[in-house]
Amino acid sequence: MIGAPSRARLITAIGVLGFASGLPNVLVNDTLSAWLSDLGFKPSDIGLLALLTLPYGLKLLWAPLLDHMAAPGFAWLGLRRSWIALFCALLVGAFVVLAWVGPTAADSPVLPAAIVGLCIAALSASLDAAVDAHRTDSASGGEEGPAASAFVLGYRVAFVSIGAAVLMLHGRIALLLGPEGDPAAEALAWKLAVGGGGLAMLVGFAGALFAPEPPRRRPPSSLGESLVGPARSFARTLGPRLGVVLFVALLFRLPDLLGNRMTMPFLRQELGFDIAEIGTIRQALGFAMTIVGAVVGGICVKRWGLGRALVVFGILQVASNAGYLVLIWTGKSLPAFGGVVVVESLCNGLVSAAFVAYFMTLCEPRYAAAQYAVLSGLMYLAGALVGATSGYLVESLGYGGFFLLSIAVGLPPLAALRWAMPAARADGMPRCAGCGHLLVGLPPYAACPECGGLERVRPGG
């Protein structure tokens, strides 16, 4: 049982590391798109930047390395924190480079910024894998819900604070650099804003120093074991349920991912809301309600149990997309828009906290980086594929048919959820306190077949 001071430190550190995970995501996606849009780049050029998100879906290819060895130069921090510190430090430098090579006009070459942006996405995806592994390895035995809530809270705070601050400060910085409307001043202001936002990654570096290192476990004996061990562990602990688990990981969040891709054109082009109205209601109010949902979601997971929380929040996630059908009926209505955003964002926060906790319970601590990367990578790959087809779906089905489809795709994984739960851990199966290996069919105080330790068996969380 984690003591109160240690628990408070752990949950606080997880929130700070969640902030560090969210910051590169918002800067390399939303902020870079706003930068290019402001300079007058064509929508087709900006749309291609969606390819920058591919590393988030492919991180499973290199995540096993994070389970095998500590990061060079930071090994003194331990296996998990060393990688977090290294990636945060590299991201600070990468954002400075992005600010340096970023475009200054619509005819500027975008390839240098795209290459640096891809490097930032790869580092960000790797940081996510390291943070996910630290959280999964540190928080267990009933702490998955609060840990997931703290992570989602920190992640969303990065979107609201740094993401919004860059957009708000850009105009003021430009006025300090030149007269109003001066293209050179506005371009330089973007560079300074993005570079300054990237410096906030130092918060993540500080979080790596502050966070407690998880209990020492026997790492995989070789890189080969790091690659094969996670799959073998999944197969051993999940058995025939493995396919259902991967199916749920791939599709459970699809209603939200699918709906979000076309929300902006629906609000701006179909209904005619102003950018300022969308920003105020959807960004500020929406993100605030997401944070509320994340906090409540973590509490509910701890009090209700993971299975019940996932079912309830999964139903709410699917139903919340019906709000856009209401907007089709009401047309441009600020009260209706605000109500839809409150409900959708609250449900998004609830299901995000529960789904993060779900992934945590599926992972064996010693393979946490690789296994979590597989599960979250499937989710991100689904989002990337959906992003490439969502516009065509709107053209063929219309917005009404599109949002109905976003509701329908959430029903199969919801129906499969009861067969995808981590039943072994939920039933209190024993787990080795030394290496985290799940022990099935062994008496208390037996030797662990993975690390050989005696009297190191404890009940699972």
Residue 36 has pLDDT above 80, yes or no: no
Q: How many CA atoms lie within 13 A of 381 on its CB side?
A: 14
- For residue 247, the model assigns a pLDDT of 92
- For residue 461, the model assigns a pLDDT of 37
Residue 369 has pLDDT above 60, yes or no: yes
- For residue 264, the model assigns a pLDDT of 67
Residue 5 has pLDDT above 60, yes or no: no
CB 384 within 8 A of CB 253: no
Cβ atoms < 10 Å from Cβ of 331: 10
CB 365 within 8 A of CB 436: yes
- For residue 83, the model assigns a pLDDT of 93
Residue 176 has pLDDT above 90, yes or no: no
For the residues 278-285, what does the mean pLDDT come to? 69
pLDDT band at 126 (very low <50, low <70, confident <90, very high): very high
For the residues 310-320, what does the mean pLDDT come to? 90
Pairing mode, if any, of strands 457-459 and 430-432? antiparallel
Nearest CA to 454 out of 432, 439, 438, 430 is that of 432
- For residue 39, the model assigns a pLDDT of 73
- For residue 432, the model assigns a pLDDT of 52
Residue 42 has pLDDT above 80, yes or no: no
Higher pLDDT, 331 or 86: 86
- For residue 315, the model assigns a pLDDT of 92
pTM, two decimals, is 0.70
For the residues 56-67, what does the mean pLDDT come to? 82
Mean of the per-residue pLDDT values of the chain:
78
Percentages of the chain per state (helix, strand, coil), in multiples of 5: 80, 0, 20
Give the lowest-confidence range in 119-128, 260-269, 319-328, 397-406: 260-269
Round the CA-based radius of gyration of the chain to a whole number and report it: 22
- For residue 86, the model assigns a pLDDT of 95
Coil, strand, or helix at residue 438?
strand
Higher pLDDT, 123 or 444: 123
- For residue 4, the model assigns a pLDDT of 46
What is the greatest pairwise CA distance in the chain?
Answer: 76
pLDDT band at 397 (very low <50, low <70, confident <90, very high): confident
Higher pLDDT, 68 or 198: 198
- For residue 456, the model assigns a pLDDT of 38
User: For residue 140, what are its two tokens?
Assistant: 């267990």
- For residue 1, the model assigns a pLDDT of 42
Choose the most confident range, by mean pLDDT, from 230-234, 309-313, 375-379: 309-313
Burial of 381 (0-12, 13-18, 19+ CB in 10 A): middle
Give the lowest-confidence range in 48-52, 127-131, 285-289: 48-52
pLDDT band at 175 (very low <50, low <70, confident <90, very high): confident
- For residue 94, the model assigns a pLDDT of 93
Q: For residues 57 and 47, what is the distance between their CA atoms, to the nearest angstrom?
A: 18
Of all residues in the chain, the percent with pLDDT exceeding 70 is 79
For the residues 14-27, what does the mean pLDDT come to? 89
Q: Alpha helix locations (H) across 59-162?
A: 64-68, 79-101, 111-138, 144-158
- For residue 445, the model assigns a pLDDT of 46
Cβ atoms < 10 Å from Cβ of 393: 18
